[in-house]
Amino acid sequence: MTEDQTLGTALVTGASSGIGAQYARQLAGRGWDLVLVARRADRLSALAARLREDTGVTVGTVTADLAEPADLARVEARVAADDVALLVNNAGINGYGPFTEVDPGLLAKVLAVNVVAPTALARAALPGMVARGRGAVVNVASLLAFAGGLPPGPLPHRAVYGGTKGYMVTFTRTLAAELADTPVRVQVVCPGLTATEFHLTAGEAPVPGEERVHEEGGMSPADVVTASLAALGTREVVCVPGLADADAVERLAAAELAVRRGSGASIAGRYRSAERSEA
């Protein structure tokens, strides 16, 4: 990133572990003041204390469950403040499991944390950023956003989680196009499997105790964040940290354009054929 244009306060959700904690560390190392948001007050306090000691930046914390409307409203109010120049929507839960078996309450929470909260926080942050002529929003999605047709095994049962991450990709890309004539940048980062504690819980409650890493391994969260911040500096809207073929995203856009050519006044011939055969 171009530091002289963007330094200020960065608000990072899901900052108590994994990718969120890495955003906090790397941004603090670059001189950003921070507001760290997560459910685990003890971890937030410990991380904030280390960052203050190591970097000298100002670090505030907000203990909040973004599935709770009152907590979300408190974070919305903070991210709308004039000092916030970067919002990192990293908080997310997975709710993995066969769709017909997962508790409906957990699925509602997945939607609240993965879709409603980042949308609301972006809406709270962006008007001020646009008015001030500076700022950025980073939304953390997943490569599972592009895995809709693949069956579980080895991938997880993920109908709702994958759907929420697909939303984040489409939301971010469309929003970036809407804001293309402004200095404000918008990015969606789509990691693959990452070495965090994400798979240790479905999301009903946070992982207790010290930060851990699931057995599946994956890319380091530090590398995910390094890629994201580098891509933000070049206004790369879709960042896939492990993707060597950068043109793959452009080919995806071309394929989407081909599908959108179906927006004509007449139905395709194959459906006419089916209509005749049924008659």
Kindly compute the dihedral angle of the four CA atoms of residues 16, 22, 25, 30, in this order, to the nearest 10 degrees.
-140
> Does the global pTM surpass 0.85?
yes
Could you name the CATH architecture of 3-278? 3-Layer(aba) Sandwich (3.40)
Amino acid, single-letter form, for residue 270: R
- CA 248/CA 81 separation, integer angstroms: 37
In the predicted model, is pLDDT for residue 149 greater than 80?
yes
For 201, counting Cβ atoms within 10 Å of its Cβ (0-12 exposed, 13-18 middle, 19+ buried), the class is: middle
The mean per-residue pLDDT over the stretch 80-90 comes to 98
In the predicted model, is pLDDT for residue 162 greater than 70?
yes
Residue 207: what pLDDT?
A: 64
In the predicted model, is pLDDT for residue 158 greater than 80?
yes
- Residue tagged active-site, from 23, 96, 161, 167: 161
- Write the pLDDT tens digit of every residue in 35-59: 999 999 999 999 999 999 999 999 9
**Of residues 172 and 1, which shows the higher confidence score?**
172
pLDDT band at 251 (very low <50, low <70, confident <90, very high): very high
The mean per-residue pLDDT over the stretch 205-231 comes to 81
In the predicted model, is pLDDT for residue 226 greater than 50?
yes
184, 126 Cβ separation under 8 angstroms = yes
Residue 200: what pLDDT?
A: 61
Residue 90: what pLDDT?
A: 98
Give the angle 243-249-252 at the CA atoms, nearest 5°. Answer: 130
List, in sequence order, every residue forming a beta bridge with 188; answer none if it has no partner. Answer: 139, 238
DSSP for 150-184 reads: SPBTTBPP-HHHHHHHHHHHHHHHHHHHHTTTSS-
CB atoms within 10 A of CB 30: 15
In the predicted model, is pLDDT for residue 3 greater than 50?
no
Alpha-carbon Rg of the chain, whole angstroms?
20
Give the angle 179-223-38 at the CA atoms, nearest 5°. Answer: 70
Residue 172: what pLDDT?
A: 98
187, 122 Cβ separation under 8 angstroms = no
Looking at residue 84, the DSSP 8-state letter turns out to be: E
pLDDT band at 85 (very low <50, low <70, confident <90, very high): very high
Residue 210: what pLDDT?
A: 61
Query: Average pLDDT of the chain?
Result: 92
Residue 161 annotated as catalytic: yes
